[in-house]
């Protein structure tokens, strides 16, 4: 799990501090843009581990529903897009699917981020998502926890977790380039 301590960037703490739920996320993210402009991850051959699962209410343990491991040659351009999703992108994707969302909290630094978002679908289903990530030149990790509560039936609440871990293995070779 990524560390909860966050690195501080050269942007002022007032601009990149935890944002209130009434702030305009896109505007505030643009204010932090200079601090986030340089990718931390190094280009090269990366191994990615993806594990998604749901919480078993009886045992209290997460059951893996989808596990994937692969290697990819990542360029500087692809790393600028990043392996991580920010709160604004998450909210935009949910709004495109008819949900209304609000930002609960967000902290971003040069090497770590956390955010929380609450959404409500058109059918009344409520979703709260909490995300935490950390990166270094040769590693990346993130954990996303989601709780979905169907409208009118809290007994069908689903808790899920998605973990992503990436490790740089070295430089790309002609055999590993796309």
Q: Residue 12 has what pLDDT?
A: 36
- Whether 161 maps to a domain, the answer reads yes
- Whether 121 maps to a domain, the answer reads yes
- Whether 7 maps to a domain, the answer reads no
Q: Is the pLDDT reported for residue 7 higher than 80?
A: no
- Whether 98 maps to a domain, the answer reads yes
Rounded percentage of the chain residues whose pLDDT exceeds 70: 78
> Average pLDDT for residues 80-106, to the nearest whole number?
90
Distance, in Å, from the CA atom of 23 to the CA atom of 87, rounded to the nearest integer, reads 13
- Whether 30 maps to a domain, the answer reads no
Q: Residue 15 has what pLDDT?
A: 33
- Whether 34 maps to a domain, the answer reads no
Q: Is the pLDDT reported for residue 166 higher than 70?
A: yes
Q: pLDDT of 98-132, one tens digit each?
A: 999 999 999 999 899 999 999 999 999 999 999 99
Instruction: Dig out the tokens for 148 from the structure.
Output: 């979905």
Number of domains observed in the structure of the chain: 1
> Which position has the token pair 């609450």?
118
Q: pLDDT of 14-44, one tens digit each?
A: 333 333 333 233 322 332 332 333 458 999 9
Distance, in Å, from the CA atom of 116 to the CA atom of 103, rounded to the nearest integer, reads 6
- Whether 9 maps to a domain, the answer reads no
Q: Residue 85 has what pLDDT?
A: 81
- Whether 81 maps to a domain, the answer reads yes
Segments forming the whole domain that contains residue 96: 40-170
What does the mean pLDDT of the chain come to? 80
Least confident of 43-47, 98-102, 130-134, 173-177: 173-177
* Dihedral sign from CA coordinates of 90, 91, 93, 99: positive
């Amino acid at each position: 799990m990524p560390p909860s301590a966050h690195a501080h960037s050269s942007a002022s703490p007032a601009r990149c501090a935890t944002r209130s739920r009434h702030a305009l996320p896109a505007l505030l993210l643009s204010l932090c843009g200079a601090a986030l402009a340089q990718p931390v991850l190094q280009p090269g051959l990366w191994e990615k581990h993806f594990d998604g699962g749901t919480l078993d209410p009886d045992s209290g343990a997460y059951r893996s529903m989808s596990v994937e491991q692969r290697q990819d040659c990542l360029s500087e351009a692809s790393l600028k897009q990043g392996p991580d999703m920010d709160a604004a992108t998450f909210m935009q994707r949910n709004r495109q699917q008819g949900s209304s969302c609000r930002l609960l909290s967000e902290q971003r630094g040069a090497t770590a981020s956390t955010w929380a978002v609450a959404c409500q679908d058109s059918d009344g289903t409520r979703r709260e998502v909490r995300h935490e990530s950390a990166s270094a030149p040769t590693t990346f990790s993130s954990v996303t926890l989601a709780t979905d509560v169907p409208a009118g039936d809290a007994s069908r609440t689903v808790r899920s977790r998605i973990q992503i871990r990436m490790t740089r293995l070295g430089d790309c070779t002609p055999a590993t380039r796309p």
